[in-house]
Amino acid sequence: MGDKPTLYPVIMAGGSGTRFWPLSRQLFPKQLLKIIGDETLIQQTMRRVVKGAPPERVLISTNPAQAESIRVQLSEWKDALKDSFVLEPEGRNTAPAIALVALELVRRDPEAIMLVVPADHIVKGQRDFDAAVSLAASLALEGLLVTFGIKPIRAETGYGYIKPNTKTVLARQGKLKGYRVGRFVEKPNAMKAAQYLKAGDYYWNSGMFVWRAATILEEIRRHQPVLADGIDRIGRLINQGGAKAAIDEEYRLLPSISIDSGVMERSNKAAVVPVSFRWSDVGSWGSLDEVATKDRAGNIVGGRVVDIDSQRSVVYGDRRVVATIGLLDMVVVDTPDATLVCPKSRAQDVKKIVDILKQQGAPEHLEHLTVHRPWGSYTVLEEGPGYKVKRVTVHAGGRLSLQLHHKRSEHWVVIAGTARVTRGEEVFELHVGQSTAIPVETRHRLENFGQDTLHIIEVQNGPYLGEDDIVRFKDDYGRTAAS
């Protein structure tokens, strides 16, 4: 490897979707949304990191529940990402997740340099980003843990603040400089945050890091020995080809701790590169202000919105009409099954709404009415006692698994495209306006062998209509769990 570091971008994609509810859901977090631009945040993140490293070197840290959605969104790099997913069995905060990836990386390349980037941040300025990564990588090669420092623009209390030790410039590239971290303060109170903002020599910790995989593992051992021991045990299990259940069990026992407070704040190897690119972690509906395009009245508007006289408000709709009059600094987000209305200043409390819905067992915290699958998607149009109506969309060439249900019958009516249907021993085609009925306990398969997208309306009948009433016989996507 020599002096030229080999960079492995690591996309941290395990977050849950509480703060952008109702557009985000537990199973459809912020990274999967098009917050700004034509691509989702994780697509933008992938596109950003593959400018500096081949896609084969990218690793994705996520959990089993989200992996499938992420694979669908990153299908442009499908082949390159075949073996790139590192799955946390359970969310244990960033330190265990990063340790698990680092473990995998040193196995692949003992000299590996990790570029850790959250999947759901917005960065504007590719050239500045690349330059910062390059400078940080040279520091990482010297055994430092490097974070990118963002110039604060408000007295935010939710971030860590870093004061560089500017006496010594560790490295320099054009205007960019790298320093040791002088002070590191995680989530200060409002007064302190205001002081740091005013002082002008504090930076926000961006949550993006560059380090040698071996270095972060050493520093985890030094500052979080319990975590390091657990990771060692997991490493041994993996090397011995241990059972997945055993590895998962070890992972669940790891302490839940963030890499920032668990390692970065404690390590004497911490360094910072103050950067010039625009950055936002879009932490709430209120923070959209910093990154989204506004109309002349300062509104950020999407969907079928009819507005009179609103100012500085965020109004997101979809296919339904959202009518707003005279709003000031408000957030209105309308989705097919849930609507949020609050002042921008209260947008942080959306988490509390999600908690309430979770306590109520309400499905609206968990997922959308539209659920994406490798073969396409389905949308629940209505659900009631004993029935469910879905629109099912199958990509050209896609097919669902060969399956059966114990508790429900299904009716399919083709509304666009052509379906190839397997029902028991029969295989036949269905065209627009044609339909078929699939009785309970009958093997069936829906397939789109045509060039156009297939759309069907599915009416389910039965005493139990959960997605987990499914027995799969064959599946193109290697799935064994629900649909």
> Whose Cβ is closer to a second copy: residue 72's or residue 440's?
440
In the complex, what is the shortest distance from the CB of residue 400 to a second copy, in angstroms, rounded to a whole number? 19
Distance, in Å, from the CA atom of 320 to the CA atom of 398, rounded to the nearest integer, reads 29
In the complex, what is the shortest distance from the CB of residue 328 to a second copy, in angstroms, rounded to a whole number? 9
Distant-in-sequence, close-in-space partners of 385: CB < 8 Å, separation ≥ 6: none
> Whose Cβ is closer to a second copy: residue 176's or residue 342's?
342
In the complex, what is the shortest distance from the CB of residue 440 to a second copy, in angstroms, rounded to a whole number? 9
Distant-in-sequence, close-in-space partners of 392: CB < 8 Å, separation ≥ 6: 376, 377, 378, 412, 446, 455, 456, 457, 458
β-bridge partners, 86: 61
| Torsional sign, CA 226, 263, 103, 59 | positive
Neighbours of 421 (CB within 10 A): 19
- Phi and psi angles of residue 32, each rounded to the nearest 5 degrees, phi first: -90, 0
Q: Which residue has the tokens 């799969």?
A: 472
Neighbours of 252 (CB within 10 A): 14
> Whose Cβ is closer to a second copy: residue 234's or residue 404's?
404
In the complex, what is the shortest distance from the CB of residue 310 to a second copy, in angstroms, rounded to a whole number? 9
In the complex, what is the shortest distance from the CB of residue 301 to a second copy, in angstroms, rounded to a whole number? 13
> Whose Cβ is closer to a second copy: residue 166's or residue 435's?
435
Distant-in-sequence, close-in-space partners of 11: CB < 8 Å, separation ≥ 6: 42, 45, 46, 49, 58, 59, 60, 61, 117, 118, 119
* DSSP at 106: H
Q: Which residue has the tokens 């950067």?
A: 275
CB 71 within 8 A of CB 79: no
Strands 278-280 and 160-165: unpaired
> Whose Cβ is closer to a second copy: residue 190's or residue 356's?
356
In the complex, what is the shortest distance from the CB of residue 204 to a second copy, in angstroms, rounded to a whole number? 26
> Whose Cβ is closer to a second copy: residue 126's or residue 339's?
339
Q: Show the tokens assigned to 297.
A: 């009245």
Distance, in Å, from the CA atom of 316 to the CA atom of 166, rounded to the nearest integer, reads 44
Give the residue from 278, 280, 260, 279 showing the smallest Cα distance to 270.
260
In the complex, what is the shortest distance from the CB of residue 92 to a second copy, in angstroms, rounded to a whole number? 29
Distance, in Å, from the CA atom of 52 to the CA atom of 18, rounded to the nearest integer, reads 31
In the complex, what is the shortest distance from the CB of residue 87 to a second copy, in angstroms, rounded to a whole number? 31
In the complex, what is the shortest distance from the CB of residue 342 to a second copy, in angstroms, rounded to a whole number? 4
> Whose Cβ is closer to a second copy: residue 190's or residue 416's?
416
In the complex, what is the shortest distance from the CB of residue 159 to a second copy, in angstroms, rounded to a whole number? 23
Give the residue from 63, 100, 108 showing the smallest Cα distance to 250.
100
> Whose Cβ is closer to a second copy: residue 241's or residue 385's?
385
Element (H, E) at 330: strand 330-334
In the complex, what is the shortest distance from the CB of residue 326 to a second copy, in angstroms, rounded to a whole number? 4
The amino acid that residue 250 corresponds to is: E
Strands 59-62 and 85-87: parallel
> Whose Cβ is closer to a second copy: residue 205's or residue 393's?
393
> Whose Cβ is closer to a second copy: residue 247's or residue 457's?
457
Q: How far from the centroid of its chain's Cα atoms is residue 452's Cα? A: 29
- The footprint of a second copy (CB under 8 A) covers 21-22, 306, 308-309, 317, 320-327, 330, 332, 334, 336-343, 345-346, 349-350, 352-353, 356-357, 362, 364, 381-382, 384-387, 389, 391, 409, 411, 413, 415-416, 432-435, 437, 455, 457, 459, 461-462
> Whose Cβ is closer to a second copy: residue 253's or residue 416's?
416
